[in-house]
Structure 1
Amino acid sequence: MQNTHVYPRYDYHPATDPGARHPVVIVGGGVVGLTAALDLATRGQRVVLLDDDDTVSVGSRAICFAKRTLEIYARLGLAERMVAKGVTWHAGRVFRGQREVYAFDLLEEAGNQHPAFVNLQQYYLEEWLVEACQASGLVDLRWKSRIVSVMNAPQEVVLTVETPDGSYELTADWVLACDGARSFLRDSLGLPFVGQTFRDHFLVADVVMQAGFPDERLFWFDPPFHPDGSVLLQRQADNVWRIDFQLGWDADPELECSPERVRARVGAMLGPAVTFELDWVSIYTFHCRRLQRFRHGRILFLGDSAHQVSPFGARGGNAGVQDVDNLAWKLVAVLRGDSPESLLDSYEAERIPAADENILHSTRSTDFITPRDDASRAYRDAVLDLAEHHAFARPLVNSGRLSCAAVLHESPLSTPDSDIWNGGLPPGAVAADAPVLRDGHPDWLLRRLGGEAFTLLLFGSPDEVPAAALPGPAGRGRHGNWPVRTVFVSPVEADGVLWDHDGVAASRYDAQPGTAVLIRPDQHVAARWRRFDPALVAAARRRALGITSEERQRIPA
């Protein structure tokens, strides 16, 4: 095999503080763990990250990053690099045999900074995350550090870490379990998954080639080059193409991974005129399952350690990044004493329904791609036959419902609507982007939302609201560590406002003059009102921080 990528090796350094206590320890240095470390560091929080290896993930692995994930990485300073290096795509085609039966286009309406999807090998993202963590000066990256025991006590977590120099103990206030599908922490606590494992094997091959395929997602059911199976093809950076072959449950993984066997399958697909090299090969089965709870005392589970889905739909890696986006700001609020520890319960209250939504879509996709019985196969084949000629059947074709941002419908942190709305974004939805002009320069709305503060979007002019009534300036002040920044969005150009010159922002938020929308630090809508009321904004902010009436005496807001 030909490896197109030179994997870095990170230096191991002996721990200089055996027995020390740390506010946050992250276990696992994959995409989710590194993103968590960077997000916390971006918020000023020191963390220790432990990984049992000394390099990034081998092979492309998670490759498909959705728009919401790109928006999160934009906040962390990496999205521009991802888009520049990766392959942007928005269209896909589904074939039955050699006939195209269905095509789709995910290109969203104009007015979004980021594309629907970017394909990029996971190792690139991990390398950039390591660089950013190192540059922050707040992330202690400890390579060659394997957890061999864990004690989850009421007030602390004690980890035993095995290194090339021997073992030592490390104590943490909070531990983020980002150690993947084979999580040692999960197994050590005896935590079972709820869900199912699908009886099938898939071969994944990264193939280096110059090919004439478009930058689209191409999916075949029962193609002539791979009868009685399915095949997925899509391009990544560096002319590396990902091919997934469905093999069936009886396939011998060791045999199917042999280079000769893989070359034969790929050659049958591409034909004799296409030359190629194998870059990486793996066999997988997949699961649709999750933990019953994501918080266990002072250990919180994220990504594949908490939930697992099939790769069809790109819901695994994207969901893990969104787990981080949901949890990081809450953990910082608790560590700073701005919120009670009970705020962390909202992590699983919000992310378990999101995981269930992903599992539902993933299960339906898998059932369609790998029918479990003759009746299911007959249904699948009938849908494919009809879809070629009849539009009503095309939405039933399911080669993977692609990842989209979760709406936190039942979030305990959201303030329910008290006004009448004709659309827009309800509490719990991800804030929408929109093109704006700021002091005459093109800008994007999402750039002005979230991070270290809450954001109050006021649709109108600063002249219409008394300055004394506004929540306060950005930065730390009378609102503690989580101020409410006011951003005016106006239909007319003026100094110090975002000019909604095409009306896109007002349309997406169903905004009228005077509309107010409170945005959480993770860019989810916390509350919205037809008229600005300082008392309502303050109450919604307290609720979003988990500050109940009983807590207000201890944590003033």
Structure 2
Amino acid sequence: MLSTYQYPEYAYVPPAALKAGGTEKRPAVVIGAGPVGLTAALDLAAHGVPVVVLDDNNTVSIGSRAVCYAKRALEVWDRLGCAGPMVDKGVRWKIGKVFRDEDLVYQFDLLPEPDHKMPAFINLQQYYLEETLVDRAQALGELVDLRWKNRVTALDSRDDGVTLTVETPDGPYTLEADWVIACDGAKSDVRGMIGARFDGQAFNDRFLIADVVMKADFPTERWFWFDPPFHRNQSVLLHKQADDVWRIDFQLGWDADPEEEKKPEKVLPRLKAMLGEDTDFELEWVSVYQFNCRRMDKFRHGRLFFAGDAAHQVSPFGARGANSGVQDTDNLAWKLGLVVAGKAPESLLDTYDDERVLAADDNLLNSTRSTDFITPKSAISRAFRDATLDLARDLPFARGLVNSGRLSLPTPYVGSRLNTPDRDAFQGRMAPGCPAADAPLTVDGRDSWLLDHLGGCFTLLYFSPDGTVPEALTAFEQDPVPVKVLAVGTPRIADAKGVVTQRYDGRPGTLYLIRPDQYVAARFRAFDPRLVRIALDTACGKG
């Protein structure tokens, strides 16, 4: 098969512990150098925590694998300094279209409002994304120690840390870590080592992925067909990726033989039926997959944490796998950073379990519903699905019932114990527990974005009524917990388009407390130092 991508090979370097013959001790270790593990490492480093990353390979993922990355994940990577190359290389899109047979049933827009820095989605082969993350990690020097061909073969988890046995081409060594994050995928060896359950539902259906290199005039949109004329009684999904590579998913049914279906003599007729006999294309990558929807009971096990597919697995419909894994690390890293620095109690880390198990259940629910709609398992379910598609052509209410994959959105933590409930009346979506919405700003006379100034530490977003900032408010910047003040409506920072004020219902005097992961923790109609102190302590797990 044609391969347009040259896979990098990263150098294996014998760890110093092999030569010294002793046990190495580190504050944090991440297991797995996929998108989730690399993001975890970058985020820990951003919070001042040196991290070792262990991976049993020495290159990026083979094949395009995950390709759809949502706005929230891009915002996380932007905060970590590496979204630019991804967005530049990837294919931006926000429109999805759903067809039945040859007819358009309806279309949707994933970002209907303007004035956001990041696009709704990009499509980018996972190997490009991982290479960008590796480049960023290497640029951080000693803060991120990437160790290739280092495979964890055993672990001992205790109250005061985790001891890892690591196998290398030169033999084993022992690595002691205060904290460990397992990001080693759906078949997680680490999860097996502790005997944790991974329960859920397996779906008896198979899908063929074909990455096709071709010049085509399809728009950069997500197209999904139910019962198309070129693949009767099944579904098909089409996406464009970088380098004129097109991702095509064919539903095969449970009786399909995975090894047979991957053979060119089986794949090429399907593609020609869809694209036309005269279309010039080449295969880059082919795979057949079955999917599961399941999760661990809990994601924190003492000083060992699980993130991404190691913690939860969903079907690919909705692009909720890698995107939710990135949000796992976004939630965990700042909390671990505060605990390591002695600025928050260890109990803060329990809220990782609270908030990300909630998010996993949200993703599992949406993923399962999508899968049930796409692959109905009974005559009644199929009749409902087909009737919904018939009605959706003409009736708007039915379009909301069509489910070709509810695409990834961040889960609000509305019931989190880190939130301070509203005391005042507010309009709009920026309630405690919700991710902060982006908006344009003017800073020192230059165009900027709100999210460029949020995240990494706590932020007090203040809507100044008179162009000044109270001294008692700026005093919070001297707090032991890192806090900064962002005052809109001052000579330095202007809401040039009025969008920040509109999205945050920012009447004069309004104050928001934003968490380091860019989630709203509290909001008030007027600045009261006592209430801000209580909200900050609550958001740090001290409440």
Superposition TM-score, scaled by structure 1 size: 0.95
Residues 64-99 of structure 1: CA deviation (Å, up to 9, x unaligned): 111111111110111221111110111111111111
Residues 369-388 of structure 1: CA deviation (Å, up to 9, x unaligned): 00011100111111111112
For the residue of structure 2 that corresponds to 1:436, the secondary structure is: strand
Instruction: Tell me the equivalent position of 2:485.
Output: 486
Contact 1:108 1:116 in 2 (8 A): no
**75-84 or 180-189, larger mean C-alpha shift:** 75-84
Instruction: Tell me the equivalent position of 1:379.
Output: 384
Equivalent position amino acid for 1:273 in 2: D
Please report how far the alpha carbon of residue 462 of structure 1 lies from its aligned counterpart in structure 2 after TM superposition: 6.5
For the residue of structure 1 that corresponds to 2:164, the secondary structure is: strand
Instruction: Tell me the equivalent position of 1:533.
Output: 528
Instruction: Tell me the equivalent position of 1:495.
Output: 491
Q: Which whole-Å CA distance do the structure 1 matches of 2:426 and 2:303 have between them?
A: 40
Instruction: Tell me the equivalent position of 1:543.
Output: 538
Check if 1:53 corresponds to 2:57.
Answer: yes
Select the residue among 295, 298, 305 that pairs with 2:300: 295
Contact 2:432 2:521 in 1 (8 A): yes
Contact 1:471 1:534 in 2 (8 A): no
Check if 1:43 corresponds to 2:39.
Answer: no
Q: Which whole-Å CA distance do the structure 2 matches of 1:436 and 1:286 have between them?
A: 43
> For the aligned residues, what is the CA RMSD?
1.3
Contact 1:207 1:277 in 2 (8 A): yes
Residues 446-504 of structure 1: CA deviation (Å, up to 9, x unaligned): 111111x211011015755432443344xxxx412x322111112xxx422x2112221
Instruction: Tell me the equivalent position of 2:448.
Output: 443
Instruction: Tell me the equivalent position of 1:132.
Output: 136
Identical pairs, percent: 59
Q: Which whole-Å CA distance do the structure 2 matches of 1:103 and 1:422 have between them?
A: 29
Superposition TM-score, scaled by structure 2 size: 0.97
For the residue of structure 2 that corresponds to 1:65, the secondary structure is: strand
Residues 121-160 of structure 1 aligned to structure 2 (within 5 Å): 121-137=125-141, 138-160=143-165
Please report how far the alpha carbon of residue 424 of structure 1 lies from its aligned counterpart in structure 2 after TM superposition: 4.0
Please report how far the alpha carbon of residue 167 of structure 1 lies from its aligned counterpart in structure 2 after TM superposition: 1.1
Residues 301-316 of structure 1 aligned to structure 2 (within 5 Å): 301-316=306-321
Select the residue among 255, 265, 272 that pairs with 2:270: 265
For the residue of structure 2 that corresponds to 1:114, the secondary structure is: coil
Contact 1:42 1:136 in 2 (8 A): no
Contact 2:97 2:221 in 1 (8 A): yes
Equivalent position amino acid for 2:135 in 1: E
Contact 2:469 2:487 in 1 (8 A): no
Residues 7-42 of structure 1: CA deviation (Å, up to 9, x unaligned): 000111111025111110110010000111111112
Instruction: Tell me the equivalent position of 2:432.
Output: 427
Q: Which whole-Å CA distance do the structure 2 matches of 1:470 and 1:331 have between them?
A: 26
Q: What residue ranges of structure 2 are gaps of 5+ in the alignment? A: none
Q: Which whole-Å CA distance do the structure 2 matches of 1:103 and 1:479 have between them?
A: 49
Residues 177-216 of structure 1 aligned to structure 2 (within 5 Å): 177-216=182-221
Please report how far the alpha carbon of residue 389 of structure 1 lies from its aligned counterpart in structure 2 after TM superposition: 2.4
Q: Which whole-Å CA distance do the structure 1 matches of 2:156 and 2:104 have between them?
A: 55
Instruction: Tell me the equivalent position of 2:502.
Output: 507
Q: Which whole-Å CA distance do the structure 1 matches of 2:293 and 2:338 have between them?
A: 32
For the residue of structure 2 that corresponds to 1:423, the secondary structure is: coil
Equivalent position amino acid for 2:8 in 1: P
Residues 285-307 of structure 1: CA deviation (Å, up to 9, x unaligned): 11111111000111100000001
Instruction: Tell me the equivalent position of 2:117.
Output: 113
Q: Which whole-Å CA distance do the structure 2 matches of 1:407 and 1:19 have between them?
A: 42
Q: Which whole-Å CA distance do the structure 1 matches of 2:466 and 2:148 have between them?
A: 51
Q: Which whole-Å CA distance do the structure 2 matches of 1:241 and 1:450 have between them?
A: 35
Select the residue among 91, 109, 112 that pairs with 1:87: 91
Instruction: Tell me the equivalent position of 1:409.
Output: 414
Contact 1:470 1:534 in 2 (8 A): no
Equivalent position amino acid for 1:510 in 2: D
Residues 126-160 of structure 1: CA deviation (Å, up to 9, x unaligned): 11111111110111111111111111122121111
Check if 1:66 corresponds to 2:65.
Answer: no
Q: Which whole-Å CA distance do the structure 1 matches of 2:216 and 2:498 have between them?
A: 42
Q: Which whole-Å CA distance do the structure 2 matches of 1:358 and 1:487 have between them?
A: 33
For the residue of structure 2 that corresponds to 1:346, the secondary structure is: helix
Check if 1:32 corresponds to 2:36.
Answer: yes
Please report how far the alpha carbon of residue 108 of structure 1 lies from its aligned counterpart in structure 2 after TM superposition: 2.7
Please report how far the alpha carbon of residue 259 of structure 1 lies from its aligned counterpart in structure 2 after TM superposition: 2.0
